[in-house]
């Protein structure tokens, strides 16, 4: 057993010491003398959240399959330990070896949401690695970023040596092989970084130069050296079924957010909702073979002992063999006390039937995500869901015995009017009407409808990347319109309304579409004590406002400004498959409230066909 | 069929609290394919109960859980199956069948014994012989050892003497090692630290728990002759 990096005394004082000791079931142990590359993989949030992330489990499994690589994990130390580590200058360590992260060859950080950016700086700081990539030497690990946020890595560009754009399964082997070769030949850090820029999907920010126009937008974005590619191709795994999957995932001792087997059934989405980044960057939609999934389900339950299995995908209802898969899971595992959870299912007769088998109807609630209240607004966002479908689904659910319904919407969408906002409350009311149409003696008291709204944040590589945002007060005013409208409904007593705070929305907007100028402000926020900004109890908006002011950054430039169709965006150097022409076409369709059919109905030539597979070729083989 | 399982908990696993150890064993039962029985109802749970929860930071050679199974393999096979899927720091050492009418371990726990080892910094300004004299004065010679314990309602005076069944002192590498057998269970639960606090106070010193490692040796039920029997001795091997 390893000597722990933290003393008993520290571990006995901090909350949940299990976060820092490793030793979980299915942990990989290796002899450090027998590996050439130590890769520490990091999810920059608390252990329980980081441990729940499928992507990390996939890479952990995949990297460790290589004999010459040892992949170790690290998560963000909770603020109680953070303080102790700073005071006592204890270097951040990996869970596997308990050795300092700074002694590893790579530090790979997955970047899943904007509000974890300050936690990335915390990781670097506690690891005692210089914040700025340009200040690092051969003594420091190569810091590499991945995950959905790297589709605009620019606000973080100064802090990373490399970014990996796209799905991790494809190019890491090339990166590791190159690293070994260059290390053996005694090449230095900058030579290595230059060579990596030739690996598909690898972006080396220090090898590019950005020029800005007087108005602050980008004039040009160019490589500074011959041989460095103009554009970075996102990486996609075309044959997902042949790809690696962790059938022995790690099982934490403390309850993680995902305390269950996660079965990824497909990647991508055929729908093309215009606000959704995942639906665009994971194109084309690729399904996994059903027989393989059955084997995985069996093995993973056996190898973990989990009492629950969940399907993972952006839109499970679109998986071709869903019916067969779900029936298999119920038939084979239900009687062994295994719960089956089915998120992201469209509500229809099939899904209700399935859910009635796997849930306690009276306790559980049904989730609808119409995203917008009015039909016009749903057409703008291309959410191909009609009011009729929603109401029929609700009716079916009520007939089936459900009483609780959760509704998710977005506010602050492009072209949104007060009428659209009020339509949210009206839709909830119409759903309640469907419930009270059931004869009194057949229903069980009142129904409970919960509306939740979040404020829309435009993301790169979506048709809404041109959309302007609003200021904080304007967001809250929108929520107030909905709240007032809810109070005006006949069935208001059956409707509950929750909305989010707006400060974070504005910041997310800045970080999502920010450029390299943002980096200095991020560091300032961290220096003012900003960590765990994704957690309301630690988030402090004033630190951010001050930091932007001190750096002379105009927040409105990134949020409320109108962007022209020909503006060069900070992320335009990435080739994400979907072309800018397609996105612009979709933006125009949105303005005209024109619906675009999904990939299975009709191809819209988004640009992803060149990956040569998935849904684009489904009926062509 | 009722089964009693005994396991050891050591190394870094001492940082995993009681509730998480329960969750750990629930998953372990599935991995080892123990044919455990489930409760009725919409969300059935495994029929499983633990003897005496162990505090975070404490290691143990004698932890117990009782389960109910529909059918079982032999003790040896079951132990092997469980140990194949254990993490480092948890080891199953016995798996015995209980009488159908046996009470749960939890309800019959009466005593537990412990070693409390000093770590560096815990050295005392007494020789071992002097300490033993002091210990005799504190424990053997006394009729009662009154301490005040803070409770939710305020303070409560209690007599420790009748709850300490055994107490001796040894030394290892200049640091004290205490052996204690104390009353354990739901009514008069005594933690070894509580006894040592009282003893240190008697010495005119302060007991700093962070300088000691507490290690549980065994958990007992009372037997007919006013003695104690280890919980694992109350069942029989399955051939
Ligand atoms: S090329 Fe056509 S079918 Fe393929 S992802 Fe794009 S729109 Fe869908």
CB A368, CB A328: distance < 8 Å: no
Contacts of A305 in chain B (CB under 8 A): 26-31, 85
Q: What is the ipTM for the molecules in this complex?
A: 0.93
Q: How far is the CA of A416 from the centre of ligand 1 (A)?
A: 28
Mean pLDDT across chain B, nearest whole number?
92
- Determine whether the interchain pair B15/A11 forms a contact, defined as Cβ–Cβ distance below 8 Å: yes
Give me the count of residues in chain A.
621
- Is the beta carbon of A460 within 6 A of some atom in ligand 1? no
Report A:320-379 residues touching B (Cβ under 8 A).
Answer: 336-337, 339, 360
Instruction: Out of A269, A284, A577, A586, give the residue to mutate to test ligand 1, the one with the largest number of ligand atoms within 8 Å of its CB.
Output: A284
Instruction: Out of A271, A273, A283, give the residue to mutate to test ligand 1, the one with the largest number of ligand atoms within 8 Å of its CB.
Output: A283
Least confidently predicted of A339-348, B69-78, B160-169: A339-348
Of A353 and B7, more confident: B7
Q: Alpha-carbon distance B29 to B38, whole Å?
A: 12
User: Nearest CB to B15: which of A21, A302, A307?
Assistant: A21
Q: Find the residue in A nearest to B87 (Cα).
A: A25
Residues of chain A with pLDDT under 50: 621
Instruction: Identify which of A215, A203, A102, A212 has the alpha carbon closest to the alpha carbon of residue A156.
Output: A203
Instruction: Out of A611, A615, A619, A621, give the residue to mutate to test ligand 1, the one with the largest number of ligand atoms within 8 Å of its CB.
Output: A615
Residue closest by Cα to atom 3 of ligand 1: A616
Q: Find the residue in A nearest to B12 (Cα).
A: A21
pLDDT score recorded for residue A72: 98
pLDDT band at residue B151 using 50, 70 and 90 as cut-offs: confident
- Determine whether the interchain pair B11/A12 forms a contact, defined as Cβ–Cβ distance below 8 Å: no
pLDDT score recorded for residue A431: 96
User: Which CATH fold topology does B2-108+229-237 show?
Assistant: Alpha-Beta Plaits (3.30.70)
pLDDT digits (tens, 9 = 90+) for B188-221: 889 999 999 999 999 988 899 999 999 999 999 9
pLDDT score recorded for residue A23: 97
- Give the Å distances, CA to CA, from A438 to A387, A444, A448, A494, B3: 19, 10, 15, 15, 51
Residue A213 at interface with chain B, using a CB cutoff of 8 Å: no
Strand partners, A40: A72, A107
Q: Alpha-carbon distance A388 to B81, whole Å?
A: 55
pLDDT score recorded for residue A198: 96
pLDDT digits (tens, 9 = 90+) for A213-262: 999 999 999 999 999 999 999 999 999 999 989 999 999 999 999 999 99
pLDDT digits (tens, 9 = 90+) for A115-169: 999 999 999 999 999 999 999 999 999 999 999 999 999 999 999 999 999 999 9
Q: Alpha-carbon distance A256 to A250, whole Å?
A: 11
Nearest-neighbour CA in chain B from A21: distance (Å): 7
Give the mean pLDDT of B43-56: 91
CB A102, CB A129: distance < 8 Å: yes
pTM: 0.95
CATH architecture for the domain at A260-359+577-621:
2-Layer Sandwich (3.30)
User: Nearest CB to B89: which of A23, A303, A339?
Assistant: A23
Instruction: Collect all residues with Cβ–Cβ distance below 8 Å to A96 and sequence separation of at least 6.
Output: A22, A27, A28, A29, A30, A70, A72, A73
Give me the count of residues in chain B.
239
Question: Which sign does the torsion angle of CA A284, A285, A291, A295 carry?
Answer: positive
Nearest-neighbour CA in chain A from B46: distance (Å): 9
Residue closest by Cα to atom 8 of ligand 1: A599
Instruction: Collect all residues with Cβ–Cβ distance below 8 Å to B82 and sequence separation of at least 6.
Output: B5, B28, B32, B34, B92, B95
- Determine whether the interchain pair A18/B20 forms a contact, defined as Cβ–Cβ distance below 8 Å: yes
- Determine whether the interchain pair A304/B31 forms a contact, defined as Cβ–Cβ distance below 8 Å: yes
Contacts of A11 in chain B (CB under 8 A): 15
Residue ranges, CATH 3.30.750.210, chain A: 260-359+577-621
- All structural domains of chain B with their residue ranges: 2-108+229-237, 123-207
Q: Which of B30, B70, B208 to mutate to test the interface with A (most CBs of A within 10 A)?
A: B30
């Amino acid at each position: 057993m390893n000597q722990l990096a933290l003393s008993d005394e520290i571990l006995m004082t901090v909350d949940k010491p299990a976060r820092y000791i490793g030793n979980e079931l299915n942990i990989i142990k290796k002899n450090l003398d027998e590996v050439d590359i130590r890769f520490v993989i990091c999810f920059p949030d608390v252990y329980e959240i980081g441990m729940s992330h499928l992507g990390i489990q996939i890479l952990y499994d995949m990297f460790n399959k290589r004999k010459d690589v040892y992949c170790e994990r690290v998560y963000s130390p909770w603020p109680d330990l953070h303080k102790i580590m700073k005071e006592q200058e204890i270097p951040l360590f990996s869970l596997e070896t308990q050795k300092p992260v700074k002694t590893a060859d790579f530090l790979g950080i997955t970047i899943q949401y904007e509000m974890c950016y300050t936690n990335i700086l915390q990781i670097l700081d506690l690891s005692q690695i210089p914040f700025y990539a340009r200040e690092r030497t051969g003594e420091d690990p190569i810091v590499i970023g991945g995950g959905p946020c790297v589709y605009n890595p620019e606000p973080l560009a100064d802090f990373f040596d490399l970014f990996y754009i796209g799905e991790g399964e494809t190019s890491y082997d090339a990166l590791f092989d190159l690293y070994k070769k260059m290390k053996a030949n005694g090449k230095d850090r900058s030579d290595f970084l230059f060579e990596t820029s030739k690996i598909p999907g690898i972006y080396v920010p220090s090898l590019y130069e950005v020029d800005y126009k007087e108005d602050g937008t980008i004039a040009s974005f160019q490589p500074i050296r011959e041989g460095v590619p103009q554009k970075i191709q996102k990486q996609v795994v075309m044959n997902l079924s042949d790809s690696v999957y962790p059938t022995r995932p790690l099982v934490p001792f403390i309850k993680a957010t995902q305390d269950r087997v996660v079965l990824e059934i497909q990647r991508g989405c055929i729908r093309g909702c215009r606000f959704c980044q995942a639906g665009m960057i994971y194109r084309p939609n690729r399904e996994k073979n059903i027989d393989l999934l059955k084997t995985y389900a069996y093995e993973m339950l056996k190898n973990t002992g989990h009492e629950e299995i969940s399907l993972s995908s952006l839109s499970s209802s679109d998986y071709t063999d869903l019916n067969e898969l779900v029936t298999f899971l119920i038939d084979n595992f239900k009687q062994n006390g295994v719960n089956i959870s089915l998120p992201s299912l469209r509500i229809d007769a099939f899904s209700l039937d399935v859910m009635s088998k796997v849930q306690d109807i009276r306790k559980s609630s049904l989730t609808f995500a119409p995203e917008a209240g009015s039909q016009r607004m749903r057409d703008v966002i291309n959410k191909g869901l009609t009011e009729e479908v929603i109401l029929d689904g609700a009716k079916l659910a009520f007939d089936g015995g459900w009483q609780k319904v959760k509704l998710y919407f977005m506010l602050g969408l492009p072209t949104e009017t007060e009428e659209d906002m009020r339509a949210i409350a009206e839709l909830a009311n119409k759903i309640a009407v469907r419930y009270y149409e059931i004869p009194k003696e057949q229903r069980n008291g009142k129904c409970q409808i919960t509306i939740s709204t979040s404020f829309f944040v435009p993301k790169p590589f979506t048709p809404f990347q041109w959309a302007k945002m609003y200021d904080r007060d304007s967001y809250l005013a929108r929520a107030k319109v909905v709240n007032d409208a809810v109070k005006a409904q006949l069935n208001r007593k059956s409707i509950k309304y929750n909305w989010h705070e707006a400060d974070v929305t504005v910041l997310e907007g800045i970080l999502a579409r920010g450029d390299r100028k943002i980096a200095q402000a991020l560091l300032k926020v961290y220096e003012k004590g900003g960590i765990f900004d994704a957690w309301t109890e630690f988030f402090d908006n004033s630190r951010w406002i001050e930091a932007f002011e001190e750096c002379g950054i105009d927040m409105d430039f990134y949020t409320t400004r109108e962007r022209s169709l020909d503006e060069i965006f900070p992320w335009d150097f990435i080739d994400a498959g979907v072309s800018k022409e397609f996105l612009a076409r979709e933006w125009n369709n949105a303005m005209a409230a024109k619906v675009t059919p999904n990939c299975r109905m009709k191809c819209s030539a988004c640009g992803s066909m060149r990956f040569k597979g998935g849904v684009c070729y489904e009926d062509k083989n | 069929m009722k089964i009693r399982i005994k396991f050891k908990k050591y190394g870094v696993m001492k940082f995993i609290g009681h509730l998480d150890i329960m969750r750990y064993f629930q998953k372990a039962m599935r991995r080892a394919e123990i044919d455990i029985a489930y409760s009725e109802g919409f969300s059935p749970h495994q029929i499983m109960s633990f003897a005496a929860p162990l505090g975070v930071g404490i290691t143990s050679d004698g932890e117990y859980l009782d389960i109910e199974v529909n059918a079982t393999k032999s003790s040896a096979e079951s132990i092997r199956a469980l140990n194949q899927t254990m993490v480092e720091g948890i080891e199953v050492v016995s798996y015995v069948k209980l009488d159908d009418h046996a009470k749960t371990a939890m309800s019959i726990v009466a005593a537990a014994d412990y070693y409390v080892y000093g770590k560096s910094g815990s050295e005392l300004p007494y020789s071992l012989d002097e300490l033993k004299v002091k210990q005799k004065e504190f424990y053997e010679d006394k009729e009662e050892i009154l301490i005040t314990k803070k409770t939710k309602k305020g303070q409560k005076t209690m007599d420790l003497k009748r709850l300490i069944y055994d107490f001796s002192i040894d030394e290892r590498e200049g640091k004290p090692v205490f052996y204690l057998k104390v009353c354990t269970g739901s009514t008069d639960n005594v933690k070894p630290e509580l006894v040592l606090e009282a003893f240190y106070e008697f010495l005119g010193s302060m007991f700093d728990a962070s300088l000691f490692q507490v290690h549980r040796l065994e958990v007992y039920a009372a037997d007919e002759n006013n003695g104690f029997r280890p919980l694992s001795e109350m069942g029989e091997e399955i051939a």
